[in-house]
Amino acid sequence: MKTIKCMMDHLYWADGRILDALEKSKTKNKDLLKLVRHVAVAETVWLSRLQGQGSTQYLLWEEAEGLMKIRTMFEENAEQYRVYIEGLEESKLDEMIDYANLSGIPFRTSIRDILLQVILHGQYHRGQINRLLRIESAEPVQVDYITFVKR
């Protein structure tokens, strides 16, 4: 649990740093904003599955309504993940969760693998966001795990 908690703390930190970099860049790039929104919505989707709720109401690839709305989504996700993880016992990590993907296809995945998916999915897309920031001549932000633990 200690490792997962630390990796989730890194996720909250890295999400915030990416949002700060996007605000600083003043980007209007719709694809870039759509990508960061996708990360926030994907975190919400997986959280709803962990909580035993449906997720088919979410749309992963919609245009963003603005960075403030996205920041609110990330903050709400972080708060709810913290509550979820705080109540999670290590012995439950390998418990299986039944859910349907956004197309309605049923799946069964362990809590551990879902949490790792959330962690790795966000890191993958933060790398893409940093690349797009660089293409726009904006300053990318350091979001590596080692930077997080050294701060």
Tens digit of each residue's pLDDT (9 = 90 or more) over 2-43: 999 999 999 999 999 999 999 999 998 999 999 999 999 999
Structure-block tokens of residue 92: 């439950």
Asked whether residue 103 is assigned to any structural domain, the reply reads: yes
pLDDT of res. 7: 96
Does any domain span residue 134? yes
The pLDDT tens digits for 50-71 are: 999 988 888 898 888 889 999 9
CATH code, domain with 31: 1.20.120.450
Quote the number of domains for the chain: 1
pLDDT at 64: 85
User: In which domain, by residue range, is 67 found?
Assistant: 2-145
Domain for residue 150, yes or no? no
In a domain, 151, yes or no: no
- Spatial separation of the C-alpha atoms in residues 67 and 83, rounded to whole Å: 24
What are the angstrom distances between the C-alpha of 7 and each of 36, 66, 122?
A: 19, 27, 11
Alpha helices in 26-100 (DSSP H): 30-50, 67-86
The answer to whether residue 135 is domain-embedded is yes
